[in-house]
Structure 1
Amino acid sequence: MLADLEELVVCESFSADHAAVARSAEVVGALGARLLGAVPQTIVIDGVTHLRWTFGTPRVLLLGHHDTVWPVGSLETHPWSVADGIARGPGVLDMKAGLVQMFHALASLPTPDGVCVLINGDEEVGSPTSRALIEESARDCAAAFVLEAAANEEGALKTARKGTSRYEVVVYGKAAHAGLEPEKGVNAAIEAAHQVLAIAGLAASMGITGATGATGSTGTTCSALGAPTITPTLLSAGSTLNTVPALAKVSVDVRVPTLAVQDRIDDLMRGLTARTHGARLKVLGGKQRPPMEPESSAELFSLASQIASELGQEPLRAAAVGGASDGNYAAGAGCPTLDGLGAVGGGAHADTEHVEVAQMTPRTHLLAQLITQTRAMT
């Protein structure tokens, strides 16, 4: 498994570099073909390369991605290494170790029949070209297992994830000379400042109290995932130092615990109004990944806990997380979904990214038994 992991890690696969992702797909596809005895279907959409294996009539979906956040050349500063039981390298945790565990778990079974393996090449950028593939593959399955890394270094499985929405608020003003006649302009930067404050206050305006379940009569109750977050992020305005800005843009990151809250925030974002006389707004973007609510994973987590006990492993822990994954899409398609079944480690997307080697085999055994029991479900 370590040799296979090294092979994947040293083939860099930065999401924005489609040629690198295509090279990675060849390496991942060859590894899967060797272990599973079948070549994958290679699907290229808008230049992004995805892989899919289908064995019989699938009842179980194994879901992963082979792209990473690490630009090509990162191996020079973050080389592959294994020392003191820790594997390091770009993308080793998120999520190339998960792919290795996935292949070895399925290869350990007498037959892969009843399983679909889908590995996409654009998860790190929101899966824009693979979302339809994920939803299509998940729709008729009894279970989806996502090989993203565990929630923490204790190996907790991800039983719920917030959904995501992304917006860009475009502010249109009117240019004028900042020294000679600023009064003839409409300052888009000032209006953008008003919008930043208004956006930051949207959650409070909904009467949301968080995960406690207590709320006012006009408020919104949130799930165990907690309250939504509505965060202005990127901000830009103006063209030159001596010109009243005619254009400004505010990017907004939204994380939501439930579909109802996601819809409510979408309405509020689209209802934003200009505060500066003469300014106009346009709200772009919208809902992206739906939330993976706790109900989607409850039965599968219970089964995984039972299997872990039977295997003599430590009791499994569950975690709800704010970050989204392709598990959101699988759950949104109506497929029971359990996430975080991949590697145990830490530092995803950071200089400290690493995998605990000793946990790879137990996690592989756990996945193999989950596949066996869930594909027999009617």
Structure 2
Amino acid sequence: MLADLEELVLCESYSADHAAVARSAEVVGALGARLLGAAPERIVIGGVSHLRWVFGTPRVLLVGHHDTVWPMGSLREHPWSVTGGKARGPGVLDMKAGLVQMFHALASLPSPEGVCILVNGDEEVGSTTSRQLIEDSARGCAATFVLEASADEAGALKTARKGTSRYEVVVHGRAAHAGQEPEKGVNATIEAAHQVLAIAGIGAMSAVSVPDDDVRGADDDVLGAATVTPTVLSAGSARNTVPALARLSLDVRVPSTAAQDRIDVLLRGLTPRTPGARLEVLGGRQRPPMGPQSSAALFALASEIAAEQGQGPLRGAAVGGASDANYTAAVGCPTLDGLGAVGGGAHADSEHVNVAQMVPRARLLAQLVARTR
């Protein structure tokens, strides 16, 4: 398993580099073909390479991704290594070790019959080209198992996830010379500052409560409050020019579709405070939330299997991050996430996998597949 993991990590696969993702698809496809005895279908959409294996009539869907957030050349500063029981390297936790565990888990069964495997190449950027594939593959299946990393170093499975929305607020002002006639301009930077404060107010209100009783549900209690976070802000074109344009990116995380809808209405209702300024609100809903009811039965089964295998009690966790599990749960397929590697530091310099947990996690997945397909 470590030799296979090394091969995947050494093939960098930055999401934005479609050629690198295509090379990674070749390596991942060859690994799966060697362990499963069948070559994948390679699906290229919008230049992004995805892989799919279908064995018989699928009852179980396994979902993973082979793209990473790490820019090309990251291996120079973060080389592959295995020391002190930890494997390190770009994307080792998120989620190349999960792919290795998935293939070895299936290879340990007498047959992969009844299983569909989908490994996409754009999960880290929202699965924009693969969403339809994921949703179509999940429909009609009895279970989806997602090979994202565990929720923490103790190996907690991900039983609920917040939904996500992405917005960009574009402020249109009017340029003018900042020294000679600033009064003739409409300052987009000042208007953007007003909007940052207004949006922060929406976020604070969402964090305190959802005021309407018919909007709040059980998922809000499990996943916590919605968050609305201004992130990237840019404005202006020259130091001596009144800015004519500003752009503000927003990250929204929600516990329920009701909260997602409500925040969408509030953001689209933003109004300019500066005379002459105009606002555009672009973007919107991305991944729907995954409530705990989607994973409850599968988590109970996983806990039973873990106990039989002597792995100790499993714990579930609701998390703020989203994954392709959000899509499979939203189409009505029971979904359990976080079945991949155990480790920490995803997307960070400290990214690592606890090697001792790779085989137990593969054994857990193998029995989950065997009992649900």
Range of TM-score over shorter length: over 0.9
Deviations 1:55-76 (A, max 9, x none): 1111100000001111121111
2-side partners of 1:206 and 1:126: how far apart? 24
8 Å CA contact 2:215, 2:258 repeated in 1? no
2-side partners of 1:206 and 1:361: how far apart? 42
The residue aligned with 2:279 is 281
8 Å CA contact 2:42, 2:49 repeated in 1? yes
Which one-letter code corresponds to 1:321 in the other structure? V
2-side partners of 1:16 and 1:193: how far apart? 31
Moved beyond 3 Å, runs of 4+ = 203-208, 215-221
Unaligned runs of 5+ in 2: none
8 Å CA contact 2:60, 2:143 repeated in 1? yes
2-side partners of 1:4 and 1:205: how far apart? 48
- TM-score norm. by structure 2 comes to 0.97
2-side partners of 1:152 and 1:133: how far apart? 29
2-side partners of 1:184 and 1:90: how far apart? 51
Shift, 1:171, TM fit: 0.7
Shift, 1:207, TM fit: 7.8
| Aligned partner of residue 349 in structure 1, secondary structure | coil
Deviations 1:61-103 (A, max 9, x none): 0000001111121111111111221111111111010000000
**Residues 77, 312 of structure 1: CA spacing in aligned structure 2 closer, same or farther, 3 A cutoff?**
same
The residue aligned with 2:345 is 347
- TM-score norm. by structure 1 comes to 0.95
| Aligned partner of residue 32 in structure 1, secondary structure | helix
2-side partners of 1:336 and 1:181: how far apart? 62
Which one-letter code corresponds to 1:188 in the other structure? A
The residue aligned with 2:297 is 299
Deviations 1:177-231 (A, max 9, x none): 2122212111111111111011111134458438xxxx67698452311001100
Deviations 1:269-316 (A, max 9, x none): 111111111111110000001111111111110110011111111100
2-side partners of 1:39 and 1:207: how far apart? 48
Shift, 1:133, TM fit: 0.6
Matching residue within 319, 326, 330 for 1:321 = 319
Report how many residues are paired: 371
2-side partners of 1:90 and 1:78: how far apart? 6
Which one-letter code corresponds to 2:336 in the other structure? L
Deviations 1:339-373 (A, max 9, x none): 00000011111111111111001101100010011
Aligned ranges 1:1-378 → 2 under 5 Å: 1-205=1-205, 208-209=208-209, 220=216, 222-375=220-373
8 Å CA contact 2:203, 2:229 repeated in 1? no
| Aligned partner of residue 43 in structure 1, secondary structure | strand
2-side partners of 1:60 and 1:220: how far apart? 32
Deviations 1:107-142 (A, max 9, x none): 111111110000000111111111111011011111
2-side partners of 1:182 and 1:309: how far apart? 71
8 Å CA contact 1:207, 1:219 repeated in 2? no
2-side partners of 1:217 and 1:334: how far apart? 25
2-side partners of 1:198 and 1:34: how far apart? 55
8 Å CA contact 1:58, 1:115 repeated in 2? yes
2-side partners of 1:249 and 1:96: how far apart? 35
2-side partners of 1:70 and 1:206: how far apart? 32
1-side partners of 2:214 and 2:298: how far apart? 35
**Residues 49, 182 of structure 1: CA spacing in aligned structure 2 closer, same or farther, 3 A cutoff?**
same
Which one-letter code corresponds to 2:171 in the other structure? V
1-side partners of 2:144 and 2:214: how far apart? 36
Unaligned runs of 5+ in 1: none
State percent identity of aligned pairs: 77
Deviations 1:156-186 (A, max 9, x none): 0000111110000011111112122212111
Which one-letter code corresponds to 1:290 in the other structure? P
2-side partners of 1:333 and 1:70: how far apart? 30
Per mean C-alpha deviation after superposition, the further-off stretch among 82-91 and 339-348 is: 82-91
